[in-house]
Amino acid sequence: MPAVRADNSSLTKRAMRAVAWGYGGTFVRMAMQLGAQAVLARLLGPAEFGVFAALMLLAAVAVLAADLVSAPIIQSADLTAEQLAFACACQLFGSLLVAILVMACLPFYRAMFPLLDDIGLGLAFMAAGTLVTGLSGVSLSLLRRHLRYREIQTAQVAGYFAGYILLAIPLALAGFKTYQVLVLAWLGQAVVSSALLYAAERHAWTLSFSVRANAKFLTFGAQISLGNIGNWLASSGDRVLVTKFAGPVEIGYYNTMLNLLMTPVVQLAASLNTVAFSVAAQSSQETRRRGALAYLNLTAMVACLLYGVFFAFPESFVALIYGPRWLGGAAFVQPFCLAAVGFAIGAAANAVLTSTGKGSAVAMVQAATACLLLIAVFVALRSSVLLAAQWMAGVYLLRAIALTLLSLRHVGAGLAGGLTIIALPLFWLCVQVLLARQVADVLALQQALVRMLLSLGAGCLMLGLALALRRQVFLHDAQLLLTRLLARLFPNFSFGQKA
């Protein structure tokens, strides 16, 4: 028994360090991304970002290529040399195949952008970045397995800094105001990040093609890959249709606003969900159940409080970040805020289900919502791109509800828990937005910066109120976690831990 407590204590400490590095690295990367994108958006404009956004649809494929063997490596109780060699073989040939498929998209992009003679070169850069990213997949998976998120975050931050700060901004300032600047930035980021990941976790490139000996390894990886493909279709199907039927400026508005608002939640989910996935693989069933409820509850509330800040004053938000040249994209802010909230909740539920071996159920939900998203956006685009954004947000929220209820059922919780996890945080968001708008109207505030500071203050006020009323706002397991956290942050105050 003492040995078990020591192991649990060690796992908890490593998990907390991983979460700390996940949060820290993600916030640093988000700050850099916000600054770099704001500068580049003002220098290049919506049309150049529209072409880049069309090409970046393929970057999501690069992420899938890097994660072909991630889940089996993390989940294997005793990773053998044979399994590692098989993973290397899958990763190598999978990355090559994806790079070839990227180049096969050339006729499609030439038809979409007939005036761009250099679109083939842009695709070649994307294919090279896809291959490089995929080749670092095994190293990334091994680092995740050992909860070495300091090395992961360092590689990702350094890659973004090299690609966008050191390369793209100087090129744009020098007069190269074309979408190729953005493509080169992404390629530079991929090369630097992949090199640092492999340097942090070197492994032999011994290849094994024994499918029969690795049947369980391959089956589990295939289930997770199906879920990832469904997630890519659900998250990128709307972008594909918008790219097909809209012009470069509308594509730029749609994708730039979506990226701006989805980046925080996507990067936080990527950091925290892999930590949760790794920890759950080494935890007892009861620990997983209690952790799942707390994780879902806190994720939903944090997401609603965060995006309520942006939802309140969309025009002020866009003008402050990108300038008046981009005000045409302000109409997309509110639906994308709701989509981001749905993504955050769905991603947390996805991590709960996947970590407990329910990858096939996740794949079914992802496939169903991906089909619904494609149909809804296709129909909406007959009217306007904005309507497509609104319907996309609805599908994201629907997917979040489905995955949350499925995960609650799997851990033994009831419908009441689902209402607390989803409905109450959305109500909190509405109150926060109404409060900020009412104060702005009463005080006749018009300046963009003042309005956004007011919205931030309303968010902080609602956060404080949620913490003060945590027994009424949060589920029991989330209450306990928050009480312990507050006791550590403020040891001189009593927060009712015994209760």
CA distance 482 to 468: 11
Predicted pLDDT of residue 407: 81
Using the structure block, give the residue that is written with the tokens 């685009």: 381
Output the pLDDT for position 341.
93
Give the C-alpha separation, 51 to 4, whole Å: 55
**pLDDT (0 to 100) of residue 6:** 40
Tell me how far apart the alpha carbons of residues 462 and 25 are, in angstroms, rounded to a whole number.
26
pLDDT of residue 486: 62
Q: 38-65 b/e with 16+ CB inside 10 Å = b?
A: bbbbebbbbebbbbbbbbbbbbbbbebb
Q: Is 389 left (phi over 0), alpha (psi -120 to 50) or beta?
A: alpha
Question: What's the whole-model pTM score?
Answer: 0.73
Angle CA(12)–CA(403)–CA(349) in degrees, nearest 5?
15
DSSP states along 77-88 = SS--HHHHHHHH
Rounded Cα distance between 292 and 304, Å, is: 18
Tokens in use for 145? 């397995």
For position 313, what pLDDT does the model report? 95
Q: How many CB atoms lie within 10 A of CB 146?
A: 13
- Taking the C-alpha atoms of residue 341 and residue 426, their distance in angstroms, rounded to an integer, is 9
Local structure of 433: helix, strand or coil: helix
Residue 499 carries which DSSP code?
-
CA-closest candidate to residue 296, choices 212, 439, 400, 222? 400
Geometric angle at alpha carbon 320, from 316 and 39, rounded to 5°:
150
- Contact call for residues 130 and 62 (beta carbons, < 8 A): yes
Contacts of residue 250, defined as CB under 8 A and 6 or more positions apart, other chains included, come to 50, 242, 385
Q: What are the φ/ψ torsions at residue 447 (nearest 5 degrees)?
A: -65, 135
According to the model, what pLDDT value does residue 302 have? 85
pLDDT at 138: 87
Structure tokens at 420: 């607390």
Distances (CA, A) of 40 to 64, 161, 239: 27, 14, 21
Kindly state the tokens that stand for 43.
Answer: 């220098």
pLDDT tens track for 445-471: 889 999 999 999 999 999 888 877 777
234, 201, 233, 240: which is closest to 73 by C-alpha? Answer: 201
* Residue numbers in the chain where pLDDT is lower than 70: 1-26, 61-68, 75, 77, 223-231, 233-235, 270-291, 355-359, 411-419, 475-499
